[in-house]
């Protein structure tokens, strides 16, 4: 990935993939934490779980496209208002968000104990049967989701902070 001073915002593909990702990830995380932290009736839980699994399964190829695009595309110039430390922190945070998203999605599929139907179109059988491995991936899924929620919250807070300070961070992704 290279930075180009003449470009002031991300290209259309990057922007579209970012906002699709934001919607899918926020929905899946918030509804997942809702089901984990609150008493939810079994019908609602089954409906939400089925929808989340289908949504994230269908989203996975888009996420891979986003990763490849991010690695291969030319990025807009770094904001001059950011010091080198802030720019490095932002870069590291983005890399960890990508890494954690990958872990969340892979562990989510690998922890599945039963086959699941993707939007009523086709069925995916469980990939593992070893109960120890299933438990390991379920734990990894929870931990990586908590870390991802933390980083996404920091990401959103940083955008708000920089916008309020007069740095046009958000405009680069609109």
DSSP 9-52: S--HHHHHHHHHHHHHHHHHHHHHHHHHHS---HHHHHHHHHHH
List the beta bridge partners of residue 118: 122
- Domain 2-173: give its CATH code: 1.20.950.20
| Mean local confidence (pLDDT), 55-80 | 90
Would you say 154 and 93 are in contact if contact means Cβ atoms under 8 Å apart?
A: yes
The answer, as to whether pTM is greater than 0.75, is yes
- CA count, 13 A, side-chain hemisphere, 113: 6
Would you say 63 and 71 are in contact if contact means Cβ atoms under 8 Å apart?
A: no
- Report d(CA 93, CA 110) in Å as an integer: 25
Domain map (residue ranges) of the chain: 2-173
Q: 99-152: per-residue pLDDT in tens?
A: 999 999 999 999 999 999 999 999 999 999 999 999 999 999 999 999 999 999
pLDDT at residue 53 is higher than 70: yes
pLDDT at residue 5 is higher than 60: no
Residue 101 token pair = 């998203």
Q: 161-170: per-residue pLDDT in tens?
A: 988 988 878 8
Helix (H, G, I), strand (E, B) or coil at 118: strand
- Report d(CA 40, CA 102) in Å as an integer: 27
- Report d(CA 54, CA 33) in Å as an integer: 17
């Amino acid at each position: 990935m290279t930075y180009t001073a003449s470009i002031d915002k991300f290209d259309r593909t990057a922007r579209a993939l970012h906002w699709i990702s934001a919607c899918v990830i926020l929905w899946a995380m918030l509804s997942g934490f809702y089901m984990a932290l609150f008493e939810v009736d079994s019908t609602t839980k089954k409906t939400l779980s089925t929808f989340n699994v289908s949504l994230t399964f269908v989203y996975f190829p888009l996420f891979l496209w986003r990763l490849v695009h991010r690695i291969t595309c030319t990025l807009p110039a770094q904001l001059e208002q950011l010091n080198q430390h802030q720019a490095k922190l932002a870069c590291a945070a983005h890399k960890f968000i990508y890494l954690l998203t990958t872990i969340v999605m892979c562990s989510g599929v690998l922890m599945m104990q039963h086959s699941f139907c993707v939007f009523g179109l086709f069925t995916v059988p469980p990939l593992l049967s070893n109960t120890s491995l299933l438990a390991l991936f379920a734990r990894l899924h929870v931990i990586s989701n908590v870390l991802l929620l933390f980083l996404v919250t920091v990401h959103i807070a940083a955008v708000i902070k920089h916008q309020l300070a007069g740095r046009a961070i958000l405009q680069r992704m609109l």
